Amino acid sequence: MSSKNSSQLERLTFFSDAVFAIAITLLIIEVHVPHVASIDDATYWQALGELRSSLFGFALSFLVIGMLWMAHHRVFGMLADYSQKITWPNLLLLMTVAFMPFATALMSSNPRARVPELVYSGTLLVAGLLQNRLFTVALRAPYVRADVPAEEVTAARWRSWGLPTAATLSLIAAWYAPGWNNFLLVAISFLVRLYAAAGRRYALRVQAAAGA
């Protein structure tokens, strides 16, 4: 049974990886080659300058999907087996990831408009909450590999609050300063470390208290 389950887990992982990889690569097809009236340097540099919000959107979403994938990679690497209950949260997370090229293109089309920014930050918030839900279900006791320390499991679970926090901040800021709010997303990499460290410390304290 165990080898069957590990191969089924592998296939679920594989399918997820493929969706992440396709969504991350499809981002570029929303960056359109400019039509220029003449081919001199100044015209081209200006045309490329007008693409800056598309290029920024490509880079930002590439990094966000990349981080979502890396977190998925880290957590699924802790699993020995899997619960059928992760299938739906995983599929919904993938749906949000597949939606990202649209949300990115919408945001890039008018970088100072409020609604596209709300949609973009909202998509990240939904992705973050689904990721948190997925990791909570996936990291339950019987499914985690025996050699993974308990505090690392807690850290991985706490860590996944980083994206929802940053997305919420960005969503609120989008209301007041659309376009600029995206810069709050750089906080993700800081927040995930902070939450992971807090979770690890909490778990170790609980373990120490239980041992005492």
Which residues of this protein are in contact with a copy of itself, per CB under 8 A? Answer: 1, 4, 7-8, 11-15, 17-31, 33-34, 36, 39, 41, 44-45, 48, 58-59, 62-63, 66, 69-70, 73, 76-77, 87, 91, 94-95, 98-99, 101-102, 105-106, 109-110, 112-116, 119, 145, 147
Give residue 153's identity as a one-letter amino acid code.
V
Q: What are phi and psi of 79, to 5 degrees?
A: -95, 145
Nearest to 92 by CA among 137, 60, 37: 137
CB of 20 to a copy of itself, least distance (A): 7
**Closer by beta carbon to a copy of itself, 84 or else 209:** 84
Q: How far is the CB of 206 from a copy of itself (least distance, A)?
A: 25
The minimum distance between CB 144 and a copy of itself, in angstroms, equals: 12
Closest contact distance (angstroms) between CB of 66 and a copy of itself is: 5
CA 208 distance to own-chain centroid:
33
Cα→Cα distances 22→53, 146, 176, Å: 22, 33, 33
Nearer to a copy of itself, 4 or 210 (CB): 4
Distance in Å, CB of 18 to a copy of itself, minimum: 4
113: left (phi over 0), alpha (psi -120 to 50) or beta: beta
Asked whether the beta carbons of 148 and 156 are under 8 A apart, the reply is: no
Q: Are 32 and 54 in contact (CB under 8 A)?
A: yes
- Dist. CA 58–CA 30, nearest whole Å: 8
Residue 208 CB, nearest distance to a copy of itself (Å)?
25
CB closer to a copy of itself, 8 vs 83: 8
Degrees to nearest 5, angle at CA 11 with 68 and 3 = 125
Enter the DSSP assignment of 103. H
**Residue number, 44 or 183, with CB nearest to a copy of itself:** 44
Choice between 95 and 186, CB closer to a copy of itself: 95
Q: In the complex with a copy of itself, which residue's Cβ is closer, 10 or 205?
A: 10
